[in-house]
Amino acid sequence: MDTSTEAKPRAVMPNETVIGLYKNCMEFTLNSRTFLLRTTELHRVGINAQVMAAQSGEAAPVLSALVSEIGVLTAKISAALNLISGSGGLLAKNAIKTTKTANQLQMYYQAWEIGLEVKTNTLLLSIYEKKEAEMYSLLREVRDQLSAHTATLAELQKTVIFIPALINLINVNVAEYPQYSEQFRVTSTELNDFKDFIESSTSLMSNRIKEAIHLINSAI
Amino acid sequence: MLKEEIYSSENHSWYIFCRDPEKPENIIDTNEYLIISDGEGLAMDPGGTEIFAHVVSAFSEVIPVSDISTFFASHQDPDVISSLPLWTGLCPKAKIYLPWLWEDYIAHFDLAAVKQFVTVPDEGSEIRFRNGHIIQLIPAHYVHAPGNYSLYDPSAKMLFSGDIGSALLPNSNYSVFVEDFEQHISYMETFHKRWMPSNRAKNDWIARVRELEVDMLCPQHGAIFKGEMVGKFLDWFEALEVGIAIPS
C-alpha cells in the first residue's frame, strides 16, 4: 500500500533486549527479596545467642557482646536491603511497563511495515513517537534506580568484613567456655554461611545491574 | 488478508476481513467486521494481539482508523478483544461496548481503557451512529460465553453472531460465503456441540433471531450464511444437541 509519506518510525528495541532487561530487573528484585528473608535468619542467630546469654551465668558478658555485634550487623544489612527492596516493587513494575510498551511498539511497527492509509499512518507515527518517548523515559528511570542500587550493594559487600571478626570472637570463647562449644559452633557456622550468601548474592545482583544498564545504554 | 464489502447502501457499508494468509499457525482464524456509516466506523470483535498489525492495515484501506468511533466485543475471549490496548492507543476516544459481566476481565487486557468502556446490560442495548443509524445488541448469553451478545443492523438486515455459526475451515481459500451447507456442517458441528453449553440458551437465541429479518448471519470464524442459508443454519442449530463434553 502506498503510504505517501517519508516518515519512518525508529526500529523498536530487539526482543532479546526487552526480554533481557525484564529478566535482569525481575531477578534483581527477587534476589533482593530472598536476601531480605535470609536476613531474618540472622536475626534468629542473634536471638539464639541472646537465649544462650540468659541461661549462661558466667559466660553472659561474652555472649551479650556477641548478641550486640550480631544486632549491629543485622541492622546494617537490613537498612541496605530495605533501601533495595523498597524500590524493588517499583523496579519490577517499571520493567513490566517497559516490556508492555515495547511489545505495543513492535505491533505498531509491524502495522507500519505492512502499510497504512495516509491518515492512519500519520496517526500511528505520532502515537508511536509518544509511546517511544514514554518508554525511553521509563528506561532512564530504571537505569537511575539500578545505578542507585550499585552503591547500596557496595555497602552490603562491606558488611562482610565484620563477620570473620565475629567468628574470631566466638572461637576465642569456645576454649574458655567448653560447655557452650556446640552452640558456639552452630552460631559461627551460620555466620559463615551468611557471609557466603552475602558475597554470592551481592555479586549476582551486581551482575544483573551491570547487564541491565548495558542493555538500556545500548537501547537508548 | 481478504477484504470484502458484504453490504452496501448509499451511506452505509459492512466489510469482512478474513482468511489472513500471514496469520501465524496455531492461532485460530478469525473474521473481523467493520460497519461504516457516513464515514463513522464500528469494529466488531477486532481480534487478538497477534493479528492486530494485519487487521489495522486492512481496516485503514477502507477508513482512517481515527474515524472508528466504536468497538464492540461480543464476549471476553482473547481472539475477540486481546488487541484492545493497541486499538485504544490509536483511538483513545472510541467507545468500547462489551458485556457488563466481562468488564473486570477485559480490563486485564487494558486497564487504561476502562474509561472508554460502555457496559451492555443483560437485556441488551443499542449503539447509535452520529447519523442516527441504530444498531441493536441482542442477548446471546451462554452461546457460548455467559455474557454474550449478537449485533443486529435492522436497516441492513445483517447479524453479527460472534461464535454462533462459526466453522473451523480446512484452508484459507474457503469461500467467504457458505456455498454447500451439508459440507459446511462438517466444519461447524463439533465446534457447536462442544462450545455451546446450553440447549435452552441456544433455543432462546434462535427464537430471538427468528423474529428478525436477517439477510446475512456473520460469524466470527468461518463463512457467512447468506439468504436461504440463514434459515438452514437456524434449523440445523435448533436440532443440534449441544453441551456434549460430559458423558451421559
Q: B49: which chain A residues are within 8 Å (Cβ-Cβ)?
A: 107
Cβ of B60 and A110 within 8 Å?
A: no
What is the reported pLDDT for A5?
55
- The CATH number of the structural domain formed by B2-239 is 3.60.15.10
Cβ contacts of residue A55 below 8 Å, gap of 6+? none
Q: pLDDT tens across A140-192, in order?
A: 988 998 888 888 888 888 888 888 888 887 777 777 777 777 877 888 888 88
Per-position DSSP letters for A10-23, written without gaps between them: PPPPPHHHHHHHHH
Complex-level ipTM: 0.91
**Dihedral pair phi/psi, residue B22, rounded to 5°:** -90, -5
Residue B51 contacts A, CB cutoff 8 Å = no
What is the reported pLDDT for A56?
67
Residue B39 contacts A, CB cutoff 8 Å = no
Q: How far is CA A9 from CA A121, A183, B53, B89, B175, in A?
A: 10, 66, 15, 16, 37
Asked if A135 and A96 count as a contact pair (C-beta separation under 8 A), the reply is no
Cβ of B53 and A1 within 8 Å?
A: no
Q: B85: which chain A residues are within 8 Å (Cβ-Cβ)?
A: 100, 104
Which residue is closest to A108 within chain B, CA to CA? B53
Residue B78 contacts A, CB cutoff 8 Å = no
What is the reported pLDDT for B25?
83
Query: For chain B, first and last CA: distance in Å?
Result: 43
Cβ of A116 and B57 within 8 Å?
A: yes
Q: Residue B81 has which C-alpha cell?
A: 478483544
> Each residue's pLDDT tens digit in chain B (248 positions)?
999 999 999 999 999 999 988 888 899 999 999 999 999 999 999 999 999 999 999 999 999 999 999 999 999 999 999 999 999 999 999 999 999 999 999 999 999 999 999 999 999 999 999 999 999 999 999 999 999 999 999 999 999 999 999 999 988 889 999 999 999 999 999 999 999 999 999 999 999 999 999 999 999 999 999 999 999 999 999 999 999 888 77
What is the reported pLDDT for A58?
66
- Please name which of B147, B140, B161, B162 lies closest in space to residue B214, comparing C-alpha atoms: B161
Residue B108 contacts A, CB cutoff 8 Å = no
Residue B86 contacts A, CB cutoff 8 Å = yes
Segments making up each domain of chain B, as ranges:
2-239
Comparing CB atoms, the residue among A100, A111, A127 nearest residue B52 is A111
Q: For chain A, give the percent of residues with pLDDT over 90.
A: 23
Within chain B, residue ranges assigned H as helices are 52-59, 78-81, 84-90, 103-106, 181-195, 199-210, 228-239
Calculate helix-pair angle for A60-114, A162-176, nearest 10 degrees.
150
Comparing CB atoms, the residue among B49, B59, B61 nearest residue A107 is B49
Segments making up each domain of chain A, as ranges:
15-219
Q: What is the pTM of this model?
A: 0.84
What is the reported pLDDT for A198?
86
Amino acid at A89: G
Per-position DSSP letters for A161-204, written without gaps between them: THHHHHHHHHHHHHHH-GGGHHHHHHHHHHHHHHHHHHHHHHHH
What is the reported pLDDT for A159?
80
Q: A120: which chain B residues are within 8 Å (Cβ-Cβ)?
A: 56, 59-60, 64-66, 90
Asked if A42 and A177 count as a contact pair (C-beta separation under 8 A), the reply is no
- Please name which of B245, B229, B232 lies closest in space to residue B196, comparing C-alpha atoms: B245
Query: Look-up: residue for cell 542507585?
Result: A148
Q: For chain A, give the percent of residues with pLDDT over 70.
A: 93
Cβ of A117 and B61 within 8 Å?
A: yes
What is the reported pLDDT for B197?
94
Cβ contacts of residue B230 below 8 Å, gap of 6+? B214, B215, B216, B217
What is the reported pLDDT for A25?
87
**Dihedral pair phi/psi, residue B220, rounded to 5°:** -80, -20
> Each residue's pLDDT tens digit in chain A (220 positions)?
555 456 788 888 888 888 898 888 888 888 888 888 887 777 777 777 777 777 766 666 777 777 787 778 778 777 777 777 777 777 888 888 888 999 999 999 999 999 999 999 999 999 999 999 999 999 998 899 888 888 888 888 888 888 888 888 777 777 777 777 787 788 888 888 888 888 898 899 899 999 999 999 998 8
